[in-house]
A and B are shown apart, each in its own frame.
Chain A
């Protein structure tokens, strides 16, 4: 299984990436490669750089890459705009999805989906055709049609916001999805809906990076690899049992680990 995966080219290669914001170094040499069909989990304390890593891959303008490269499908994307990254198939599921007052969720989803479709040389969808598509995708996250007529994320509960993120992922069909604490703030039922949605969208041609604190999401979606981050570096990589050990021993165990290295 493992060797078969490696026969294809990687989707994402993060090579020795260092980055800072306001001259404050946040990432200090992160390397990570995701092949098609792989699920990677990144764990670590708050402030270790997990979210920053995800934002930098998506192209957030507040961070400067000071060293290293991000390659997507073999191409260096260090200087691409966030919208170009999204159109080409990188998806970031936000830890705190942003509210956009007055902009209808339906219109937002349609414009977003069409931007991706245009990149893929697929026909752009008018309002009617899009309604059809979105109806089908709403099933995946068990969302009510009424969500579409509301403003983007405005007045959504925490769980609704996260489901809206997965709905976007379902519509955009990314090559790689980086899901930043998609499980936080979800009750057990919502977590199951979100996890089963993610599994439905995932396939052998795509990759997922799950950023999480909790084993409970990893019980639903089993990762191939688990990485532990600390102070802007990946300090340990293992298979899914690493997450179980972390759950059992806590992050203090990784402190010892740093001392070892």
Chain B
């Protein structure tokens, strides 16, 4: 038996992104109806096809029921009590970063995402989203030289309407699920990426999502298109202030990879998780899906999920192209009263398609952590293969871990392999490390990051180091 109190002491680091930026915002009234949707679309000066897309989605959403199959328990969400558009007040037209409100720049500075020319990160282009709008995107000109488009989705709607009309909703249709329908109706901002044929994106692209307002939801929408023989690595980070109310975050991410294209999508999710009693925190209901449309295309998801009161998220791959590859590498850590129901769907449609799933769930405190995954082999997926590995680690004796693997095969000439394990940090392991002079907390964090090693190896270098630190922070006080 590991000493409970000691474990608890390890997980108690205060959330350091919990500050609120005091800034004048433009908010619309609470509630959701056709007029609100028209208002959002009008504010964003959208073309008619997009307003129609939103209204159609809204009609579908009204007929749908909130899903209740996940192993999650939470107070019913009142969708009429949410503000669906909130933006910091800014000048009408901003031509350069110098005109961005210094308070916003300061906010992102504090989050470790400097945006100004002098301080911006040198190896990665950033799109910074604050509540409902994108504030700035760095390195746009440099990327444009390579033909890469990286901007907010609102701008893409204005400047690249043809691409938006062609691809939006083709991977995650509005009718896909309750939260996708809601997002399709009210989505505000997010990132748009287009990599032209034959181009390897010269730097990592990243979006940083910041929720600032307590009573408005964030409904971001991201669309990434990789044309033939192109490749891109995209990173995503998220934080929010500490409020004692729950904030809804319902995002949709769509990825499209054509012949020989590859997209690597990495997330470090650190939304505010609520306090030790489970008060406050983000409700994170996200639909992420990639379509491997082309032959030998590849989509790889890696995620480190440490925040949110509720996480409901299944980044998936539709493997259509012959010999296309889907990957899902996940670390989900829950503590206190956090709940996570996360996993993936690998839908093998084309022949000789291949998928790999590596999921590591760590539950501490009184938290609940479930892996839910579907591997499906369609009738034409001959010679396809899947390998899944789902490991859970329990810290303390109040936390729970579940694994729900669903396997459906309509193709006898395919292989599906599933391995699962559950472990606990044992007193003997802790004693062994301690008896070598390693402090208790460091011993725990060494073991946790050892447990996650296979996934961390998939993350971009700097992200991996950050994820390691983040996990250690999150666990501080939880292990004993």
Contacts and interface: CB of A to CB of B under 8 A. Distances in A.
A108 B446 contact: yes
B429 interface: yes
Among the interface residues A58, A60, A61, A97, which one has the most CB atoms of the partner chain B within 10 A?
A61
Among the interface residues B431, B447, B452, which one has the most CB atoms of the partner chain A within 10 A?
B431
B433 interface: yes
Interface in B181-223: none
Among the interface residues A60, A116, A119, which one has the most CB atoms of the partner chain B within 10 A?
A60
B434 A98 contact: no
Interface string A94-112: 1001101111000110011
A223 B161 CA distance: 85
Interface stretch (A80-88, A139-147, A242-250): A80-88
Interface stretch (B17-25, B66-74, B321-329, B437-445): B437-445
A38 B312 CA distance: 62
Contacts of A108: 433, 436, 438, 446
A59 B435 contact: yes
Contacts of B426: 98
Contact of B450 (A62, A103, A112): A103
Given A61-B431, A98-B428, A100-B433, A83 B450 contact: no
Contact of B435 (A58, A101, A107): A58
A115 B450 CA distance: 19
Given A98-B432, A102-B452, A108-B446, A115 B427 contact: no
A100 B436 contact: no
Among the interface residues B429, B435, B437, which one has the most CB atoms of the partner chain A within 10 A?
B437
Contacts of B437: 83, 86-87, 112, 115-116, 119, 172
Contacts of A94: 432
B340 to A, nearest CB: 21
Interface string A109-135: 001100110010000000000000000
B449 interface: yes
B251 to A, nearest CB: 31
Chain B interface: which size bin?
20 to 34
Contact of B429 (A83, A92, A98): A98
Contacts of B428: 98
Contacts of A83: 434-440
A168 B436 CA distance: 8
Contacts of A85: 435
A81 B446 contact: no
A82 B435 contact: yes
Given A115-B436, A168-B436, A60 B447 contact: no
Given A62-B427, A103-B446, A103-B447, A86 B436 contact: yes
A61 B384 CA distance: 51
A151 interface: yes
B274 to A, nearest CB: 29
Contacts of B3: 61
Contacts of B450: 100-103, 151
A102 B442 contact: no
Interface string A46-78: 000000000000111110000000000000000
A97 B439 CA distance: 18
B453 interface: yes
Given A86-B436, A97-B432, A172-B437, A61 B447 contact: no
A92 B435 CA distance: 7
A153 B259 CA distance: 44
B445 to A, nearest CB: 10
A15 B382 CA distance: 73
A14 B370 CA distance: 49
B427 A61 contact: yes
B325 to A, nearest CB: 25
A118 to B, nearest CB: 9
B451 interface: yes
A101 B432 CA distance: 13
Interface in A196-222: none
Interface string A176-203: 0000000000000000000000000000
Contact of A100 (B429, B439, B442): B429
A101 B429 CA distance: 10
B451 A82 contact: no
Nearest to B2: A61
Interface in B395-438: 426-429, 431-438
Contacts of B451: 101-102
Contacts of B442: 111
B434 A102 contact: no
A6 to B, nearest CB: 29
A111 B434 contact: no
B121 to A, nearest CB: 25
A86 B437 CA distance: 5
B432 to A, nearest CB: 4
Given A61-B3, A94-B432, A100 B438 contact: no
Nearest to B428: A98
7 contacts: A94-B432, A100-B429, A100-B432, A102-B449, A103-B446, A115-B438, A115-B439
Nearest 3 A/B pairs, CB to CB: A102-B450, A115-B437, A103-B450
Given A98-B432, A101-B450, A116-B437, 20 more contacts: A59-B435, A60-B435, A61-B427, A82-B434, A83-B440, A85-B435, A86-B434, A86-B437, A92-B435, A97-B432, A98-B426, A98-B428, A102-B451, A102-B454, A107-B446, A108-B438, A112-B437, A115-B438, A119-B437, A151-B450
